[in-house]
Amino acid sequence: MPQKSKITRDEIIRAAMEIAREAGAEAINARSVAQRLRCSTQPVMYHFATMEALKRAVYSQVDRFHSDYLMRGSGERDPLLEIGLQYIRFAINEPHLFRFLFQSGYAKETDLTEMLDSEELAPVFSAMQEGTGLDREKTREVFLTVALFAHGYASIIANNGLEFDESLVAVHLERTFNGAMLAVCQEDKNEETV
């Protein structure tokens, strides 16, 4: 019977996440993870039969890290605006992880509806619903508008090294949010008059 590995599954995931953070998910392989952990590749292969399985586990860990990151705003601005700014800051501070999450094809959701219903977004969505006072469906509409704007901005930054002017981005995010809120409220008025 082979000796049980002393390197844990969680240690392997953490090491692989650090590799993804520094060099991108494409740099994750059994050798790079083993080198990071100062062990042979055997423990890596013991816990993960394929690198695909390891990358999926790392993706889940990065997804949780990203959700936590979004909720760590400075508290200086409206919480909804702060979440959008945190999303963009994540792209600036963690460009490799941002690309892994949103541009690698590892997302388990296949459409925007699934994304909005994901467990990782629940705390973000709850904070937004509480802040707006809107019902769930209208909050989803506002969230989607703001999220698509923030994602576009974050993608440009993560992929092109665009300079981040926080005050300018904050103004644009606020305008996007206000426009989305106005559109949702206008739809309510239109429905009432019909």
- Long-range contacts of the stretch 39-44 (C-beta < 8 A, 24+): 39/7, 42/5, 43/5, 43/6, 43/7, 43/12, 44/7, 44/12
Mean residue pLDDT of the chain comes to 86
Q: Which residues contact 117 (CB under 8 A, 6 or more apart)?
A: none
- Using a pLDDT cut of 70, give the percent of the chain over it: 89
Render pLDDT for 80-127 as a digit per residue (tens, 0 to 9): 788 888 999 999 999 999 999 988 887 776 677 777 777 777 777 787
pTM over 0.85, yes/no: no
Nearest 5°: CA angle at 97, between 13 and 69? 90
Render pLDDT for 120-161 as a digit per residue (tens, 0 to 9): 777 777 877 887 788 888 888 888 888 889 989 899 888 887
Q: Which residues contact 73 (CB under 8 A, 6 or more apart)?
A: 79, 82, 83, 85, 86
Domain ranges of the chain: 1-49, 63-193
Q: What is the CATH number of domain 1-49?
A: 1.10.10
**CATH architecture label of 63-193:** Orthogonal Bundle (1.10)
- Long-range contacts of the stretch 158-164 (C-beta < 8 A, 24+): 158/91, 158/92, 158/95, 158/98, 158/99, 159/95, 159/99, 159/103, 164/88, 164/89, 164/92
Looking at residue 1, what is its pLDDT? 47
3-state helix, strand, coil in the chain (%, to 5): 75, 0, 25
